[in-house]
Amino acid sequence: MKASLYIAISLVIAVFAVMPLISSSSIAYMLGLAFIFVVYCVSWDIVAGYTGQVNLGHTVFIGIGAYTTALLSSGRIGMHLPIWITIPTGGAIALLFGLWIGVICLRLKGYYLALVTAVLPLIFIQLANIFSGIFGGYEGFSVGLSRGFSPDISVRYYIAMLFMLVSIAAMYAIVKSRMGVKFRAVRDDEELAEAVGINIVRYKLIAFCISAFFAGMAGAMTVHYRLTVGVDLFDIPLMLAVILSVITGGIGTFYGAVIGGFAIFIAKNWFFRMLADALPVPVSDDLLLYVLLIVLILKMPEGVVNRLEAFLSSRSQ
Amino acid sequence: MRRVILLLLCCVLILGCTGGGPKAGKEVVKIGVIGPMDTKYGIAMERAAKIAAEEINAQGGINGRQVEVITADTKLNPDTATSEFRRLASQSNVVIGGFSSGVALSMLEVMAETKTLWLGDASSPRLTDKVAQDYEHYKYFFRPLVTNASTFPLDMAEMLDYLNDQGVKIKKVAILRDDALWTDDVMKVLRPLLEKKGYEIVMDKKVQKGTEDFSTLLLEAQDKADVIMPIIAHVKGVALVKQWKDMGIKLPIAGHDLSAIDPDFWNATEGKCIGEIYTADGGGVPTPLNSKMAHFISAYQEKYGKLPEAYSAYGVYDAVYIYKAAVENAAKAGEKNPFDADTLISYLEAFNTQHPFEGVRGKVAFTSNHDLAWGSEFVRNYICQWQDGKQVVLYPADKATGQLITPWAE
Amino acid sequence: MNLVEIVVLGSIIGGIWALVASGFSLVFGVARILNFAHGTYFALGAYFAIVLDRELKYLMPELPSLIFSIIFSILIVGLIGVAIYKTCIKPVRKYEVMVILITLAIALLFEKILLAIFRDTSVSVPFPISGVITVSGIPIPYTRLMALLVAILIIILLERFINATKTGKETIATSQDMEASMLIGIDVEKVYTIVMFLSASLAAVAGILYSQIYAVNPQTALRVLIYAFAIVILGGLGSVRGSIIAAFIIGFMQVTVSIALEARWAEIAAMVAIIAILIVRPRGLMGVE
Q: Which chains touch C (3 or more CB pairs under 8 A)?
A: A, B
Least confident of B53-57, B381-385, C5-9, C277-281: C277-281
pLDDT of residue A304: 65
Q: Which residues of C touch A121 (CB under 8 A)?
A: none
- Which position has the higher pLDDT, C266 or A300? C266
DSSP three-state, residue B265: helix
Q: Are B259 and B312 in contact (CB under 8 A)?
A: no
CATH superfamily assigned to domain B152-286+380-409: Response regulator (3.40.50.2300)
- Number of residues written out for chain C: 289
Nearest to B175 by CA among B281, B243, B251, B262: B251
CB contact under 8 A, C108 and A294: no
Confidence of residue C282 (pLDDT cuts 50, 70, 90): low
| pLDDT of B38 strictly over 90 | no
pLDDT of residue C150: 94
- Which position has the higher pLDDT, A173 or A107? A173
For chain B positions 166-195, those within 8 Å of chain C (CB to CB) are 179
Nearest to A29 by CA among A162, A139, A161, A143: A161
CB contact under 8 A, B83 and A308: no
Q: Which residues of B touch A284 (CB under 8 A)?
A: 73
Least confident of A303-317, B106-120, C168-182, C242-256: A303-317
Whether the bond into B230 is cis, omega within 30 of 0: no
Nearest to C97 by CA among A236, A248, A251, A114: A114
Q: What is the pLDDT of residues A52-79, one digit of tens each?
A: 888 899 999 999 999 999 999 988 888 8
Query: Mean pLDDT, chain B, as a whole number?
Result: 88
Q: Which amino acid is at A26?
A: S
pLDDT of residue C177: 83
Nearest to C79 by CA among C167, C198, C220: C198
Confidence of residue A317 (pLDDT cuts 50, 70, 90): very low
Q: Which residues of A touch B80 (CB under 8 A)?
A: 232
Q: Which residues of B touch A4 (CB under 8 A)?
A: 2
Least confident of A185-199, B14-28, C102-116, C232-246: B14-28
- CA gyration radius, chain B: 22
pLDDT of residue A312: 61
Share of chain A above pLDDT 90, in %: 45
DSSP letter at B65 equals: B
C118 touches chain B (CB under 8 A): no
Between chain B and chain C, the number of residue pairs with CB atoms below 8 A apart is 80
For chain A positions 267-286, those within 8 Å of chain C (CB to CB) are 281-284, 286
CB contact under 8 A, C262 and B270: no
Q: Residue B337: count other Cβ atoms within 10 Å of its Cβ.
A: 11
Q: How close is the nearest chain A Cα to the Cα of B190, in Å?
A: 18
Q: How far apart are CA A5 and CA B243, in angstroms?
A: 66
Q: Which residues, including other chains, have CB under 8 Å from residue B312's CB and lie 6 or more apart?
A: B35, B41, B42, B44, B45, B48, B97, B99, B121, B145, B284
Least confident of A253-262, B367-376, B383-392, C275-284: C275-284
| pLDDT of B188 strictly over 60 | yes
| pLDDT of A226 strictly over 50 | yes
Q: Domain B28-146+311-364 belongs to what architecture?
A: 3-Layer(aba) Sandwich (3.40)
Specify which residues B357 forms β-bridges with.
Answer: B364
Q: Which amino acid is at B49?
A: A
Share of chain C above pLDDT 70, in %: 97
Q: Residue B187: count other Cβ atoms within 10 Å of its Cβ.
A: 19
List the end-to-end C-alpha distance of chain C, in Å, as a whole number: 40
CB nearest to A126's CB, from C100, C101, C267: C267
Q: Which residues of C touch B214 (CB under 8 A)?
A: 214
Q: Which chains touch B (3 or more CB pairs under 8 A)?
A: A, C
C219 touches chain B (CB under 8 A): yes
Least confident of A9-18, B281-290, B385-394, C63-72: B281-290
Cα–Cα distances (Å) from B35 to A22, B55, B88, B337, C214, in that order, read 30, 22, 12, 28, 27
Q: What is the pLDDT of residues A95-118, one digit of tens each?
A: 999 999 888 888 787 788 888 899
E-strand stretches of chain C = 132-135, 138-141
DSSP three-state, residue B377: coil
Q: Which amino acid is at A33?
A: L
CB nearest to B247's CB, from C132, C220, C262: C132
B410 touches chain C (CB under 8 A): no
Q: How far apart are CA B75 and CA B309, in angstroms?
A: 18
Q: Are strands A141-142 and A228-229 parallel, antiparallel or unpaired?
A: antiparallel
Q: How far apart are CA C44 and CA C57, in angstroms?
A: 20
| pLDDT of B21 strictly over 90 | no
Q: How far apart are CA A24 and CA C128, in angstroms?
A: 58
pLDDT of residue C195: 93
Q: Which residues, including other chains, have CB under 8 Å from residue B329's CB and lie 6 or more apart?
A: B347, B350
Q: How far apart are CA C276 and CA C256, in angstroms?
A: 20
Q: Are A262 and B15 in contact (CB under 8 A)?
A: no
Q: What is the pLDDT of residues B238-258, one digit of tens each?
A: 999 999 999 999 999 999 998
CB contact under 8 A, B216 and C258: yes
Nearest to A198 by CA among A211, A184, A188, A186: A186
C255 touches chain B (CB under 8 A): yes
Q: What mean pLDDT do residues B139-155 have?
A: 88
A199 touches chain B (CB under 8 A): no
Which of A27-31, A140-144, A160-164, A181-185 tops mean pLDDT?
Answer: A160-164
Q: How close is the nearest chain C Cα to the Cα of A47, in Å?
A: 14
DSSP three-state, residue A222: helix
CB contact under 8 A, C122 and B239: yes
Q: What is the pLDDT of residues A269-299, one digit of tens each?
A: 888 888 888 887 777 888 999 999 999 888 8
Q: Which residues, including other chains, have CB under 8 Å from residue A253's CB and lie 6 or more apart?
A: A49, A303, A305, A306
Q: Which amino acid is at C61?
A: P
pLDDT of residue A307: 66
The residue ranges of every structural domain in chain B are 28-146+311-364, 152-286+380-409
For chain A positions 137-176, those within 8 Å of chain C (CB to CB) are none
Nearest to C80 by CA among C118, C114, C42, C52: C42
What is the separation of C-alpha A188 from the centre of its chain, rounded to a whole number of angstroms? 24
CB nearest to B21's CB, from A9, A24, A233: A24
Q: How far apart are CA C7 and CA C138, in angstroms?
A: 11
Which of B344-348, C55-59, C136-140 tops mean pLDDT?
Answer: B344-348
Share of chain C above pLDDT 90, in %: 51
Specify which residues B68 forms β-bridges with.
Answer: B30
Between chain A and chain B, the number of residue pairs with CB atoms below 8 A apart is 144
Q: Are strands B357-359 and B362-364 parallel, antiparallel or unpaired?
A: antiparallel
| pLDDT of B23 strictly over 50 | no
pLDDT of residue A94: 96
Q: Which residues, including other chains, have CB under 8 Å from residue C192's CB and lie 6 or more apart?
A: C30, C31, C85, C174
Q: In a mutagenesis test of the C interface, which of A287, A295, A299, A302 is the best target, namely the one with the most C β-carbons within 10 Å?
A: A287
Q: Which amino acid is at A142?
A: S
Q: Which amino acid is at A50?
A: Y
Q: How far apart are CA A283 and CA A278, in angstroms?
A: 10
CB contact under 8 A, C109 and A118: no
CB contact under 8 A, A137 and B102: yes
Q: What is the pLDDT of residues C26-70, one digit of tens each?
A: 998 888 889 999 999 999 999 999 999 989 988 888 889 999 999
pLDDT of residue A214: 97
A272 touches chain B (CB under 8 A): no
Q: Are B143 and B118 in contact (CB under 8 A)?
A: no
Q: What mean pLDDT do residues A187-194 have?
A: 83
For chain B positions 28-67, those within 8 Å of chain C (CB to CB) are 36, 38-40, 43
Q: How far apart are CA C273 and CA A196, in angstroms?
A: 39
DSSP letter at B158 equals: H
pLDDT of residue B210: 83
Q: How far apart are CA B245 and CA B274, in angstroms?
A: 9
DSSP three-state, residue A228: strand
Share of chain B above pLDDT 90, in %: 56
Q: Which amino acid is at B119?
A: L
Residue of C nearest to A103 (CA): C279
pLDDT of residue B2: 64
Q: How far apart are CA B278 and CA B402, in angstroms?
A: 14
Q: How far apart are CA A1 and CA A13, in angstroms?
A: 19
CB nearest to A8's CB, from B5, B179, B208: B5
Q: How close is the nearest chain B Cα to the Cα of C259, in Å?
A: 6
pLDDT of residue C289: 44
A306 phi and psi angles, rounded to 5 deg: -60, -45
Residue of A nearest to C117 (CA): A282
Q: What mean pLDDT do residues C176-199 have?
A: 88
Q: In a mutagenesis test of the B interface, which of C262, C267, C268 is the best target, namely the one with the most B β-carbons within 10 Å?
A: C262
| pLDDT of A199 strictly over 70 | yes
CB contact under 8 A, C119 and B211: no
Specify which residues B364 forms β-bridges with.
Answer: B357
pLDDT of residue C104: 92
| pLDDT of C166 strictly over 60 | yes
pLDDT of residue A283: 79
- Which position has the higher pLDDT, A220 or A6? A220
Q: Are strands B94-97 and B28-35 parallel, antiparallel or unpaired?
A: parallel
Nearest to B319 by CA among B66, B46, B20, B107: B46
Q: At what angle do helices B181-196 and B101-114 cross, to 10 degrees?
A: 120
CB contact under 8 A, A15 and B184: no
Q: What is the pLDDT of residues A149-165, one digit of tens each?
A: 888 889 999 999 999 99
Nearest to C77 by CA among C110, C101, C102: C110
Q: In a mutagenesis test of the C interface, which of B40, B47, B213 is the best target, namely the one with the most C β-carbons within 10 Å?
A: B213
B246 touches chain C (CB under 8 A): yes
Cα–Cα distances (Å) from B352 to A273, B372, B378, in that order, read 40, 9, 11
pLDDT of residue C10: 93
What is the separation of C-alpha C251 from the centre of its chain, rounded to a whole number of angstroms? 13
Least confident of A300-309, B367-376, C202-211: A300-309
Nearest to B104 by CA among B88, B120, B87, B125: B120
CB contact under 8 A, B216 and C259: yes
**Burial class for C31, CB neighbours closer than 10 Å (0-12, 13-18, 19+):** buried
Q: Which residues of C touch B44 (CB under 8 A)?
A: none
| pLDDT of B1 strictly over 70 | no
B29 phi and psi angles, rounded to 5 deg: -100, 125
| pLDDT of B300 strictly over 70 | yes
Q: How close is the nearest chain C Cα to the Cα of A159, in Å?
A: 33
pLDDT of residue B325: 94
pLDDT of residue A105: 80
Let me know if the fold of B28-146+311-364 is the same as that of B152-286+380-409.
yes
Q: Which residues of C touch B38 (CB under 8 A)?
A: 115, 119-120
pLDDT of residue B25: 46
Residue of C nearest to A52 (CA): C97
DSSP three-state, residue C58: coil
Nearest to A233 by CA among A113, A68, A46, A26: A68
Which of B138-152, B190-204, B301-315 tops mean pLDDT?
Answer: B190-204
pLDDT of residue B378: 83
DSSP letter at C61 equals: -
Its ipTM equals: 0.88
Q: How close is the nearest chain B Cα to the Cα of C174, in Å?
A: 38
Q: How far apart are CA B226 and CA B234, in angstroms?
A: 24
Confidence of residue B24 (pLDDT cuts 50, 70, 90): very low
